[in-house]
Structure 1
């Protein structure tokens, strides 16, 4: 019986550490990728074939599965992962709250994809860190905003110049004809 059990486990890619919950990260990732994902994909494919009509498929209806990648992550590591994902603008605060199982925050900033440490609005800069406020001009405009505004003004004047030249060329052609 033990031999047959070990053969079944090896065929399914299951080890004793997976069964008793002591498997490391790479073992679990391998188990999900080689065992669970192919089985669930086959089930989903068959459910699509059996339960969705041609009309439903033509309307782009589908059956899908999702795996929670944070299910086995300890809380201490989850906080670090959440910080990295929000700081690098990969996920919003509300998206991270949902992965933890918390209700989304009603704060509109929680749905913005931005680094809270760097991408501060003008109001946050002036009310928050005094060193950040000192970097702006007297109107509270940051150096980067000032450069962008100068560039936009320059582009606008160039466009007006081109349009003016185009209109004057058209007027000359009308006078010639």
Structure 2
């Protein structure tokens, strides 16, 4: 399946005290934007493989999309012997092809967006309950829960609390 992973911008950001886990509490209004990476997700019998058109993007366990797939498949396999897609076929791996358009390290959550789309795509096949999916997303990265939700959201905590908002009016 070919999916779009949308970048995000912070419309507002307040940073509060440092937490016990080393992160800062925050409150931010985040907005998805049209800039996106394209992710082609293919299920396979075993193993996780990441390929990308940009040689600067890390592959393997250093890639957040890889870690998202790994966390999702682990969570699903803890509930059943072998994860099965909706067709009933057992699957324990995937191939993630990233067509990178979102600039790296630009604060646009490109990697988190890629990870969120991988979670969304896997969930389309394996049907994990939404609260569990958001828990997996939170474990992968702070921006991943927002990227999974998209649109306009108020984000709190370290990013794990996501409240959908009405879109802001266009100002251009």
The reply to whether TM is greater than 0.5 is no
- After TM superposition, the score normalised by the length of structure 1 is 0.24
Q: Which has the higher helix share?
A: 1
Larger Rg: 1
Q: Which has the higher contact order (CA 8 A, sep 6+)?
A: 2
- After TM superposition, the score normalised by the length of structure 2 is 0.25
Q: Which has the higher strand share?
A: 2
